[in-house]
A and B are shown apart, each in its own frame.
Chain A
Amino acid sequence: MGVKCGFYQGATNCCGCPETIAIRNILEVAGKNTVVVNATSCLEIVSSQYPHTSWGVNYIHGAFENASAIASGVTLALEKLGKKGNVIAIAGDGGTLDIGLQALSGTLERGDKICFICMDNNAYMNTGIQRSSATPFGAWTTTSPPGKFSIGEEKWKKPIVEIVAAHRTPYVATASIGFIPDLKEKVKKALEKKNQPSFIHVECPCPLGWKFNPSKTIEIAKLAVKTGMWILYEIHNGKLNISKPAGKRKPVEEYLKTQGRFAHLFKPRNKHIIKKIQTHVDDEWERLLENQ
């Protein structure tokens, strides 16, 4: 691959996985002068299998919970050495929303200059699709199986973007793999912040865990944004700005029926769940519009 790439070929990810596309585009914006701190996640498994590596930039892999704490340390070390560079911490949804939340909160409170990127694939995919707090309502996972007395996952997704924004973080944004120019622009804005942290939440559809055809990854990522299941917005110095979807949203059925993990919702006894999801999406959309 090209010299300007921070991420090289040979990663062992599944067919149809969008994570490496996201990483390559993020590193294209960040440039060679970057330190990547990676929590345990799918990305770490696929990109750094001993003795090979896909990374063309400095790379540290820590434990599951402390990616942001290590990134804090790297920032301070760079400062002491008198060097300049971008520090990017990358973690999955488990490493951000569940296990890494306390370290992330600490980093945001101290206000170290790091860019934290959460690659959200909605469950613990590399250990066998267990539910996490990012799993959407009604989804199938191995630890939330649907059946006679269950509808799948019974809790709503944790509003991590608002939790981070509540720390008075100057730049918080959501992005999607279906809209690469938008993602690149947001990373650029996040890295421009001087001596302040920033946070980007990227949604990455997982063909294995969401049960869809690997060729449909980008299509599903785009559909999630078009139906309003994933709203693209940014909170820049406390000001909320919705980037997509502009105009009329599609009904959520169109998004739900593309994936095997929501297949049980289309049985006659579960029809009311889809209505519940649609109401939730509408409420969320209206709430964001009010805060704009």
Chain B
Amino acid sequence: MTNGKDYWKTNRRWFLMPFKIILDRDACIGCGSCAAICPENWVMEGDKSKPKKTQVKEIGCNKEAADACPVQCITIKEI
């Protein structure tokens, strides 16, 4: 495909930010648990919540937000 140097260039984001945050907006009930536990990355936008960043370097409190969600609509993937 590509040699080492180019691979690093094209997929730089993957190496720097290995965690992807996925929110199922249809399932979200807008309880605000994630925004209360992890205000660094979660805000309430009207009736639903929204992540400020969908790809992050470190999980941090996002893991706790995902655990606290009563409908399990937050998933964190490691790429």
Contacts and interface: CB of A to CB of B under 8 A. Distances in A.
A200 to B, nearest CB: 17
* Chain B interface helix/strand/loop/mixed: loop
A219 B33 CA distance: 17
B16 interface: no
Interface string B37-79: 1010000000100000000000000000000001110000000
B29 A1 contact: no
Contact of B30 (A1, A2, A181, A215): A181
Interface stretch (A21-29, A99-107, A257-265): A21-29
Interface string A169-181: 0000000001111
A109 to B, nearest CB: 35
Contacts of A215: 72
Contacts of A179: 29
Contacts of A2: 35-36, 39
Interface in A1-40: 1-2, 5, 9, 16, 18, 21, 24-25, 28
B47 A181 contact: yes
A227 interface: no
Contacts, number: 34
A218 B70 contact: yes
A9 B38 CA distance: 12
Contacts of B72: 215
B39 A217 contact: no
Interface string B6-29: 000000000000000000000001
Interface in A204-223: 215, 217-219
Interface of B: 29-33, 35-37, 39, 47, 70-72
A3 to B, nearest CB: 9
A210 B77 CA distance: 33
Nearest to A215: B72
A219 B73 CA distance: 12
Contacts of B33: 21, 24
A217 B36 contact: no
B70 A217 contact: yes
B37 A1 contact: yes
Contacts of A18: 70
Contacts of A217: 70
B30, B32, B70: residue with the most chain A Cβ atoms closer than 10 Å? B70
A25 B31 contact: yes
Nearest to B47: A181
A243 to B, nearest CB: 14
A25 B32 contact: yes
B69 to A, nearest CB: 10
A204 to B, nearest CB: 12
Closest 6 pairs between A and B when the two form their complex, measured CB to CB: A181-B47, A1-B36, A21-B31, A180-B30, A218-B71, A180-B31
6 contacts: A2-B39, A18-B70, A24-B33, A24-B36, A180-B29, A215-B72
